[in-house]
Amino acid sequence: MKRRAYNFSAGPSVLPEKVLEKARSELTSWHGCGMSVMEMSHREKEFVSIAKDAEARLRSLMRIPEEYHVLFLQGGASLQFSAIPMNILRDKSKMAYIETGTWSEKAIKAARQYGTVSVIASSKADAYTTAPDLSDLPLDDSFAYVHYTPNETIHGVRIFDIPDTKGIPLVADMSSMILSEPIDVTRFGLIYAGAQKNVGPAGVTIVIVRKDLCGASAPTTPDVLDYSKQAKDGSMINTPPCFAWYMAGLVFEWIETEGGIEVMHARARSRATTLYGAIDGSKFYRNPVKRAYRSLMNIPFVLKDQTLDEQFLVEAGASGLQTLAGHRSVGGMRASLYNAMPQSGVEALVEFMRAFEKEHETA
Ligand SMILES: *Cc1c(COP(=O)(O)O)cnc(C)c1O
């Protein structure tokens, strides 16, 4: 059998091989029950135990306090762009957004359907190659919440410091960085993430929300999007994404076995240092993002001679380095280095980049 490729996809993305092996070993008969997780009723004790176990592991890994609901929903991070204002705007009509790239732009566009959005900081004028100054945000009590995207997956921009929102609930789209470093959950009103980057396969969306923000959703909110109602029913108002939820639980277990989130963080820093070092040390490759705001998870880079892009991708693929094309909106290359990417994958990429440069350097 062909060895596994190093997969640099931004999402759906690489999963830990041990998780895939375990899922395979349990695929046709989970824990000897005679059926696959894909075939079980979500109301039976087997799946209920899988679901509860996954939640408990996530609570323990992220140290999520009792004051927060942990929900496993559907619709991706994108549906949360609308579900968030529906649920937590409550008696207010204004919300504040920080604009740092494509994903925050999309969140802003969706939120405008539900209230008056103020973009209180933006790095759009810098083509999203940096983050805006967040030191003195223009905030007052009329805002229901402040939304930001700590890791912009497409532009490779990271906000490392949690913004001071002067007591206003902070909402974070952590889709492409959740579980890659320790986070103080108590600093947030709501954290959400589509699973298909650092958590598991596509199909499940994690929402971690402070209980006191829930319970006063807009009257038009569908039940399946209502955080309180979903919490009351264990995220099972309707059929949940059972298999993706189960896989997320296996990933949580894998992170525990590997040593927890601190270990994930150390590995992430090591991978990023290796790749940024190679890019910065060459005149052939370039990363456009200001150093203080560079993502540890998604690293875009361009070739000096863009007519070589196609050849770069073809030859990288032939060397077992897959899915390195940048997002179609920005072009160039992008290496996504999520938790399941081993250091050896980054090293193989850097080795390939050096060889490719050597071959195409003009003297
Ligand atoms: C991928 C991504 C999304 C969209 O996720 P879906 O689950 O496909 O809706 C939103 N925000 C960020 C930061 C992402 O990386």
**Under 8 Å between Cβ of 88 and 189:** yes
Residue closest by Cα to atom 8 of ligand 1: 76
Residue closest by Cα to atom 12 of ligand 1: 175
pLDDT in tens, 192-248: 999 999 999 999 999 999 999 999 999 999 999 999 999 999 999 999 999 999 999
pLDDT in tens, 274-317: 999 999 999 999 999 999 999 999 999 999 999 999 999 999 99
Q: Which atom of ligand 1 has the smallest separation from the CA of 76?
A: 7
Q: Which atom of ligand 1 has the smallest separation from the CA of 153?
A: 15
Residue 8 pLDDT > 50: yes
List the one residue out of 113, 107, 210, 87 whose CA is nearest residue 152.
Answer: 107
For position 179, what pLDDT does the model report? 98
Phi and psi (nearest 5°) for 336? -95, 125
List the one residue out of 128, 160, 130, 143 whose CA is nearest residue 97.
Answer: 143
With the most atoms of ligand 1 within 8 angstroms of its CB, the residue from 78, 84, 337 to mutate is: 78
Percent with pLDDT over 90 in the chain: 97
Q: Which residues line ligand 1 (CB under 6 A)?
A: 11, 76-78, 103, 149, 153, 173, 175-176, 194, 197
Whole-model pTM over 0.75 = yes
pLDDT in tens, 26-36: 999 999 999 99
pLDDT in tens, 308-351: 999 999 999 999 999 999 998 888 999 999 999 999 999 999 99
Question: Active-site residues: which are they?
Answer: 103, 173, 197
For position 256, what pLDDT does the model report? 98
For position 145, what pLDDT does the model report? 98
Q: What is the mean pLDDT of residues 185-196?
A: 98
**Under 8 Å between Cβ of 353 and 359:** no
CA of 207 to the centre of ligand 1 (A): 13
pLDDT in tens, 104-120: 999 999 999 999 999 99
Cβ atoms within 10 Å of 234's Cβ, excluding its own: 15
Percent with pLDDT over 70 in the chain: 99
- Nearest-angstrom CA–CA distance, 203 and 245: 8
Question: How many Cα neighbours within 13 Å face the side chain of 73?
Answer: 29
Cα→Cα distances 259→53, 199, 246, 252, 255, Å: 18, 16, 20, 11, 6
- Nearest-angstrom CA–CA distance, 174 and 57: 18
Confidence of residue 1 (pLDDT cuts 50, 70, 90): very low
For position 3, what pLDDT does the model report? 81
Q: Which atom of ligand 1 has the smallest separation from the CA of 196?
A: 7
Cα→Cα distances 91→218, 310, 348, Å: 9, 52, 53
For position 2, what pLDDT does the model report? 62
Cβ atoms within 10 Å of 38's Cβ, excluding its own: 11
CA of 360 to the centre of ligand 1 (A): 35
